Chain A
Amino acid sequence: MLELNGITAGYDRRAPVFRGARLTLAPGESVGLLGPSGCGKSTLARVAALLHRPDAGRYVLDGTEIRAWRHRAPRELRTAVGVVFQQPRTAADPRLTLADLIAEPLRATGRGAEAAARVADLAPTVGLTPELLSRRPHAVSDGQLQRACLARALSLRPRWLICDEMTAMLDASTTAALVAAVETYRAGTGAGLLAVGHDRVLLERWCDRTVEWKDCLTGGDER
């Protein structure tokens, strides 16, 4: 279970972006979070990814209450949630080749020995050719880079995947390919998905259910 309850978060304690948001995901469930731009849904996604410490509220991930965020959070919890960000350009270290980019989480967690095999395994599932893997971010398109970012998020086989407007910058065919890659991964592992976006048609077709941002704030998430 991924349970966010009464979350208040923002970038200034006196003026939080939102107050008291709640959202619950059952294991293996895919939920689309819909909302207008600037409402705070990305911030909630960052809280769920343990990247942003909320000002108040309770977050329980697979039975463990989260009390520390970012580097302070235990590594097992951090890596249990994979994140794909909206803008692949800023989410990729410009110095790393795509292969290194995908392998980075494995190397960072001391599993560098598996990296080559895992990259070779993941690249075709997200549609990256070996030639593309040797390029750096500036030499590939946004879509290709986002494919690599998705592969990076999947490299540690997370139990949860958070896609924050993953396809907002991309064309329809790349969107379809990325969604298909996520679904293939989920079918194989049973991972849960939180897809944040403003594209209602896409999220309704992609996810088991969709939640309106305003319902998150008023406690309407109960089924």
Chain B
Amino acid sequence: MADPRTHRLRLWTSAVTVGAVLLAVLLVPPLAQLDEQAVDLSAKLLPPSWDHPFGTDDLGRDLLLRCVYGLRISLLVGLVAALVATVIGTAVGAAAGALGGRLDRGLMRLVDAFSSVPHLLLGIFVVALFRPGVWPVIVSVAVTHWLSTARIVRSEVLSLRSRPYVDAAISGGASRRRVAVRHLLPAVLPQAGLAAVLMVPHAMWHESALSFLGLGLPSHQASLGNLVQTARSSLLAGDWWPTLFPGLLLIVPTLAIAGLAGVWRDRLNPRRRSELML
């Protein structure tokens, strides 16, 4: 188990990284007022320099700017998809766990049915139904990723449902709704929140995978997956920067978010919490 100093270091590195990424994607596009799609064929495939810190791509577009825009789209997809997936998962899991019986069995078989198909395949099927864009990708990631949250929330609710404090609430005249809203949901929300945070990088990777396969966002739109996809051809010619930087921007925020989620998970565990306070 990590000692408090490593713990603090992890918290701060992760928080600073996530903060920097958020600031960049939120502030750079409105403040810089630069066109990330501006083509300059005289400056194509330039290696990193002071003018272009990440270099330029095969159409002479500034990669730093495109990476920031790409990260913006990827983060947006990741956040919204994770949020939607968590809301669906929590609702299904809570309903199954709290109401039990036939509804529980039905919903859990639905979860099994969804899980039996590989996520990516199901995601591809969903995006194929729509015109390429941000929303189909969000929908595709959300409808394939609520399953684990539903399972987590259901098992939490099942274990809470038999606690004497739920009996006490029933004896005190509480309705089913009241028990769910007042006693069960607040108890599962930290777990669901943690699942949502861990889902964000996962959803970003899914977006990138779909875009890389050419099924996600339209190719003119900068997203991390699209950037890696277009850079693939120049990699064989020895131009490493168009793949390296988008790739790093996918990996670094993932690690930082996972770090933050790890800190959160440690705080949820009461025994760990008391050790950290020492």
Contacts and interface: CB of A to CB of B under 8 A. Distances in A.
A90 B173 contact: no
A92 interface: yes
B172 A105 contact: yes
A93 B186 CA distance: 10
Label chain B's interface by main secondary structure. helix
Interface residues of B, number: 19
B175 A90 contact: no
Interface in B180-237: 182-183, 186-187
B171 A78 contact: yes
Contacts of A24: none
B110 interface: no
Interface stretch (B25-33, B87-95, B161-169): B161-169
B175 A83 contact: no
Contacts, number: 68
Given A85-B164, A93-B183, A49 B176 contact: no
B171 A49 contact: yes
Given A93-B183, A95-B187, A108-B178, A82 B171 contact: yes
A113 B182 CA distance: 18
Q: Chain A interface residue count: which class?
A: 20 to 34
A95 B185 CA distance: 11
Nearest to B172: A105
Given A95-B186, A95-B187, A108-B178, A90 B164 contact: yes
B173 to A, nearest CB: 4
19 contacts: A50-B171, A70-B170, A78-B170, A78-B171, A81-B171, A83-B168, A90-B163, A91-B164, A92-B168, A93-B182, A95-B187, A105-B173, A108-B169, A108-B172, A108-B174, A108-B178, A109-B172, A109-B173, A152-B168
Interface of B: 163-165, 167-176, 178-179, 182-183, 186-187
